[in-house]
DNA sequence: TATTAGTCAATAAT
DNA sequence: ATTATTGACTAATA
């Protein structure tokens, strides 16, 4: 109905900011008057749908800068601006997926970040939030100290809710499984031979490692997914080293950095892993799970078939590459009819209180970017529109850089394993 | 039904 | 105190 209207205004709002339209009829000031906010605030989802391609890497990079420069934490930023938790923000900022690999939902945080970056008062607003939070915190402390309003002893309701269980603190709080390093290694080895293990193999692994089947399944899901991301970031980094003098030495462009000496047959993930943690201290005992009286310190070592010579690169290229190739120009996304989705799974106010716990989709669109630059002299410089980031344009094509080689290696690896599997008679089901 | 994509939330690491 | 990692869960897809 009115969506087209609102979408339009939003588009203008974001698409081109600097150049004042020419007829801001309503002197829509922003002073505490969110009343006529009705039609103007369409969901960001619509914005996302129309958003041009964004440079996710560049966005995260800038966000990180702004945050650190101003001592703003991820938690605050995430909850206030993105509606995400700290961990998610950390992940997003550290390994953004390329725009074209993101679903509509996945693009949302990036659009929000871009919007936030465009907002001239972004930092200030966030700092205000920070202050407010601190104030609230102080207040709470104070009252708990001077006042005798114990906010801690919620004993009521917890302790003796039901005397049925001799062991009160039951698994209402599942212990959170923590895989021991050996277990992870075993799983990784298994992954190298079979990224997509059959149910049978999974079962075997679970038994051998003394893990729940679901844990093994989840591990594979997560691992594949994370492997893929590592590839993405390398892809991005490899691509950015070409031109667009982002920061490359303007003078000596001597031999390309070719940092990846791993050359052939090298697991991108392990490489990345190694890169990340220079050296982990060893001896980490503690193997969580296994419940008390757990299994004996058995030798869980032993991958199912250590048959291994020259480790074939495990990582696989985007599995079913029938992926959307022709990301033709702009707006490849069909308008998503906002499916009604109720979340509600998320926590109930935890004991204590949950004041700002404003999660749930039902609100995820409030204090976001109010953008609206006062038509100030925001010099758009080279950017045509604040939203449509120019850069990232070229950067494409990496004809024969190491990246390409890596991909080729992955393909070979897949082929290799396929043949190996074929020669055998195991019911392996590979999917292409 | 199997997988992927996104997140959450606990907990490790800085 | 913050930030990073990661097993598990919910939707969405194929």
Taking only the tens place, the pLDDT of each residue in A151-191 is 444 444 444 444 444 445 555 678 899 999 999 999 999 99
Mean pLDDT of A347-358: 36
Backbone phi and psi for residue A274, each to the nearest 5 degrees, phi listed first: -60, -40
A158-162, A247-251, A273-277, A397-401: least confidently modelled range: A247-251
Give the integer Cα–Cα distance in Å for A100 and A328.
Answer: 11
pLDDT given for residue A233 in this prediction: 73
Q: Residues with Cβ < 8 Å from A239, sequence gap 6 or more?
A: A395, A396, A398, A403
pLDDT given for residue A192 in this prediction: 94
The answer on pLDDT for A207 being more than 90 is yes
Q: In the complex, which nucleotide's C1' lies nearest to the CA atom of residue A76?
A: C2
In contact, A45 and A104? CB cutoff 8 Å: yes
**Distance (Å) from CA A130 to C1' B1?**
47
Q: Residues with Cβ < 8 Å from A41, sequence gap 6 or more?
A: A6, A365
**Distance (Å) from CA A148 to C1' B4?**
51
**Distance (Å) from CA A73 to C1' C1?**
10
Q: In the complex, which nucleotide's C1' lies nearest to the CA atom of residue A178?
A: C7
Burial (0-12, 13-18, 19+ Cβ within 10 Å), A84: buried
Q: In the complex, which nucleotide's C1' lies nearest to the CA atom of residue A196?
A: B3
pLDDT given for residue A33 in this prediction: 39
Give the integer Cα–Cα distance in Å for A51 and A217.
Answer: 36
3-state secondary structure of A350: coil
In contact, A126 and A80? CB cutoff 8 Å: yes
Asked if residue A75 keeps its beta carbon closer than 7 A to nucleic acid strand C, the reply is yes
pLDDT given for residue A121 in this prediction: 93
Residue A83 exposure: Cα atoms within 13 Å on the Cβ side: 21
Nucleotides of C strand lying within 7 Å of any protein CB atom: 1-14
pLDDT given for residue A236 in this prediction: 66
A213-240 helix and A199-209 helix, angle to the nearest 10 degrees: 110
Given pLDDT bands bounded at 50, 70 and 90, which one contains residue A240? low
Q: Residues with Cβ < 8 Å from A406, sequence gap 6 or more?
A: A231, A234, A260, A266, A268, A313
For residue A410, the tally of other CB atoms under 10 A from its CB is 21
pLDDT given for residue A140 in this prediction: 77
Backbone phi and psi for residue A112, each to the nearest 5 degrees, phi listed first: -65, -40
pLDDT given for residue A191 in this prediction: 96
Q: In the complex, which nucleotide's C1' lies nearest to the CA atom of residue A91?
A: C4
N- to C-terminal Cα distance for chain A? 43
A210-214, A243-247, A407-411: least confidently modelled range: A243-247
Out of 1.25.40.390, 2.30.30.100, 1.10.260.40, 1.10.3720.10, select the CATH number for domain A1-20+38-151+369-389: 1.10.260.40
The answer on pLDDT for A137 being more than 70 is yes
Give the integer Cα–Cα distance in Å for A315 and A416.
Answer: 13
DSSP 8-state secondary structure symbol assigned to residue A387? S
Asked if residue A242 keeps its beta carbon closer than 7 A to nucleic acid strand B, the reply is no
For residue A316, the tally of other CB atoms under 10 A from its CB is 18
Cα dihedral across residues A140, A146, A147, A153: positive or negative: positive
Given pLDDT bands bounded at 50, 70 and 90, which one contains residue A41? low
Give the integer Cα–Cα distance in Å for A239 and A78.
Answer: 28
Identify the CA nearest to A63 among candidates A76, A51, A52, A53.
A76
For residue A175, the tally of other CB atoms under 10 A from its CB is 10
**Distance (Å) from CA A199 to C1' B1?**
12
Identify the CA nearest to A316 among candidates A199, A213, A194, A204.
A194
The pair of three-digit structure tokens given for residue A414, joined into one six-digit string:
């897949």
pTM for this entry: 0.60
In contact, A119 and A125? CB cutoff 8 Å: yes
Q: In the complex, which nucleotide's C1' lies nearest to the CA atom of residue A276?
A: C4
Asked if residue A276 keeps its beta carbon closer than 7 A to nucleic acid strand C, the reply is yes
Give the integer Cα–Cα distance in Å for A298 and A426.
Answer: 29
**Distance (Å) from CA A5 to C1' C11?**
30
The answer on pLDDT for A57 being more than 70 is yes
Mean pLDDT of A11-37: 39
DSSP 8-state secondary structure symbol assigned to residue A392? T
The pair of three-digit structure tokens given for residue A263, joined into one six-digit string:
């050359």
pLDDT given for residue A142 in this prediction: 74
pLDDT given for residue A42 in this prediction: 67
Q: In the complex, which nucleotide's C1' lies nearest to the CA atom of residue A71?
A: C2
In contact, A209 and A183? CB cutoff 8 Å: yes
Mean pLDDT of A288-308: 37
Given pLDDT bands bounded at 50, 70 and 90, which one contains residue A77? very high
Given pLDDT bands bounded at 50, 70 and 90, which one contains residue A272? low
Q: List Cα–Cα distances, A41 to A3, A45, A246, A264, A367, in angstroms.
A: 10, 11, 35, 52, 11
The answer on pLDDT for A251 being more than 60 is no
In contact, A163 and A387? CB cutoff 8 Å: no
Give the integer Cα–Cα distance in Å for A85 and A76.
Answer: 9
Asked if residue A49 keeps its beta carbon closer than 7 A to nucleic acid strand C, the reply is no
The answer on pLDDT for A132 being more than 60 is yes
For residue A31, the tally of other CB atoms under 10 A from its CB is 5
A136-150, A204-218, A230-244, A294-308: least confidently modelled range: A294-308
pLDDT given for residue A405 in this prediction: 40
Backbone phi and psi for residue A295, each to the nearest 5 degrees, phi listed first: -75, 155
């Amino acid at each position: 109905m009115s969506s087209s209207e609102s979408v339009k205004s939003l588009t203008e709002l974001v698409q081109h900011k600097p150049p004042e339209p020419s007829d801001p009829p309503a002197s829509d000031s922003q002073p505490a008057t969110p009343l006529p906010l009705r039609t103007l605030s369409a969901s960001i989802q619509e914005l996302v749908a129309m958003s041009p391609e964004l440079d996710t890497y560049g966005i995260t990079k800038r966000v990180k800068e702004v945050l650190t420069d101003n001592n703003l934490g991820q938690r605050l930023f995430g909850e206030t601006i993105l509606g995400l938790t700290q961990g998610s923000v950390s992940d997003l900022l550290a390994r953004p997926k390329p725009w074209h690999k993101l679903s509509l939902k996945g693009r949302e945080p990036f659009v929000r970040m871009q919007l936030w970056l465009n907002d001239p008062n972004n930092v200030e607003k966030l700092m205000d939030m920070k202050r407010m939070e601190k104030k609230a915190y102080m207040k709470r402390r104070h009252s708990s100290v001077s006042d005798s309003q114990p906010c801690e002893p919620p004993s009521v309701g917890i302790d003796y809710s039901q005397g049925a269980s001799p062991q009160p603190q039951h698994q209402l709080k599942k212990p959170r499984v923590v895989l021991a390093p050996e277990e992870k290694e075993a799983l990784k080895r298994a992954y190298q031979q079979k990224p997509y293990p059959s149910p049978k193999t999974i079962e075997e692994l679970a038994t051998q490692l003394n893990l729940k089947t679901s844990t093994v399944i989840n591990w594979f899901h997560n691992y594949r997914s994370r492997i893929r991301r590592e590839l993405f970031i390398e892809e991005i980094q490899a691509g950015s080293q070409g031109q667009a003098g982002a920061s490359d030495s303007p003078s000596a462009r001597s031999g390309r950095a070719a940092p990846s000496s791993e050359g052939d047959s090298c697991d991108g993930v392990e490489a990345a892993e190694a890169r990340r943690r220079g050296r982990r201290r060893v001896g980490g005992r503690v193997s969580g799970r296994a419940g008390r009286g757990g299994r004996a310190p058995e030798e869980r070592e032993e991958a199912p078939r250590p048959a291994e010579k020259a480790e074939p690169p495990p990582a696989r290229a985007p599995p079913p590459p029938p992926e959307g190739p022709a990301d033709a120009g702009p707006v490849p996304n069909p308008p998503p009819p906002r499916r009604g989705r109720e979340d509600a799974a998320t926590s109930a106010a935890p004991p204590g209180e949950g004041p700002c716990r404003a999660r749930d989709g039902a609100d995820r669109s409030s204090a976001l970017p109010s953008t609206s630059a006062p038509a100030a002299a925001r010099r758009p410089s080279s950017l045509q529109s604040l939203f449509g980031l120019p850069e990232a344009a070229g950067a494409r094509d990496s004809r024969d850089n190491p990246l390409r080689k890596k991909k080729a290696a992955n393909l070979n690896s897949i082929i290799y394993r396929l043949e190996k599997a074929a020669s055998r008679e195991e019911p392996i089901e590979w999917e292409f």
